[in-house]
Amino acid sequence: MLDIPRALNPMDIALAATRMYSTLPVVGKHLEPFAGLTAMALYGGHYAPAALKAAISRRAGTGAEVQVPVEAPGEDVEAINGSLVPPFLRSRAQKRRYLDRGSVRYGDHPSQLLDVWRRPDLPPDAPVLLFVPGGAWVQGTRVLQGHTLLAHLVRKGWVCLTMDYRVSPVHRWPRHVADVNAAIAWARANVDRFGGDRNFVAIAGCSAGGHLATLAGLTPGDERFRGELTDDADTSVDAVVGIYGRYDWEDRSTTSRKNFQGFLERVVVGRKQSRHPEVFEAASPMARIHADAPPTLLIDGEHDAIIPVQEARDFHAALGAVSRNPVRYCEVPRAGHAFDLVDTSHARRCATEVSKFLTSVHAARDRQHTAAAV
């Protein structure tokens, strides 16, 4: 049961209205995206001053210099170099070139769709990446997001899946992560139909998608996040990539953090943290760290003002201190939040780092299998 506030304010009324019209017969499912846009508009003002300040700082070339150098040998040099083609057109061209199958169902709900990206000449048993788009848990669309990363990995011989999932305020937590787990289970059971290796499935996500990808990677088998999946469905992943993700769902130490927790309470979860702390703890990757966490790469922008970059640094330090598997961190200089939405040098730098990390994890897995077979 949802917590009902004692006195509804205009935000509560607006959100209730969006949930109501999204349930209308026939047209309701087409109106769901507007419910998410309404929620983003209501809460976006909390982040506008910080985002504007970060944008000015990037333009002026100021800011912290904490970063991890990026090496780009061989053909990856071209991936980072600039281009005269506008970013939006490059993104559309990437999809036209590498999309193999669109709107594949990974579940019974109309929102449970994914696209398959692959090369037509791909040999069987290619490694697989599932990409989870962001959107503050109120938008979860595969349109535009991650295209530079997907195209780069497809050129390297990967099968890539990019998914839609159910979002708030129409669908409450943990519906989002349950859909991510359903997509992982689908990949484990079906991706060989598209030339993918069911025994190597990595996951990556941006922003809210980074939270969902990381949480799913840390919590395979958690009954709270399985949704309609059967007990034998495999939701484990072989590697995790979090890109400017939100990793802490409990901290209320600053005004910004309190505003974020209020957004989760009213829009995403529908419960107050003070009454249901266990819900927020279970959903927080920072609280779910353990020694058997999959190999993990965290990438963030130096000037991220939406999710302060310190959160990624703290999560990297905490996970690295516990996990028995590799934990890496890369900070993209002068990049802000959502730096990969179009095909810019920041997005290509990110794709290069992800490719290097996942290739190393996949190679290590192959070495282990070879050694075990001898």
279 vs 163: CA distance, rounded Å: 25
Contacts of 104 (CB under 8 A, 6+ apart): 113, 114, 115, 116
- Beta strand 113-117 with 159-163 is antiparallel
The residue among 167, 174, 110, 87 whose CA lies nearest residue 134 is 167
Residues in a beta bridge with 114:
104, 163
Q: For residue 200, what are the CA distances in angstroms to 128, 145, 152, 195, 325?
A: 6, 23, 18, 12, 16
Residues in a beta bridge with 300:
331
Q: Is 46 a catalytic residue?
A: no
Q: Is 337 a catalytic residue?
A: yes
Contacts of 182 (CB under 8 A, 6+ apart): 106, 107, 112, 227, 228, 229
Task: Report yes or no: 282 and 273 within 8 Å, Cβ to Cβ.
Answer: no
> What is the tally of helices (H) and strands (E) in the chain?
12, 8
192 vs 195: CA distance, rounded Å: 5
Cβ neighbours, 10 Å, residue 54: 23
Identified catalytic residue from 164, 304, 340, 343: 304
Task: Report yes or no: 166 and 146 within 8 Å, Cβ to Cβ.
Answer: no
Identified catalytic residue from 337, 343, 346, 355: 337
Task: Report yes or no: 23 and 17 within 8 Å, Cβ to Cβ.
Answer: no
Positions of E strands within 178-308: 196-206, 239-243, 296-301
104 vs 280: CA distance, rounded Å: 32
Identified catalytic residue from 207, 284, 323, 355: 207
Q: Which residues are catalytic?
A: 207, 304, 337
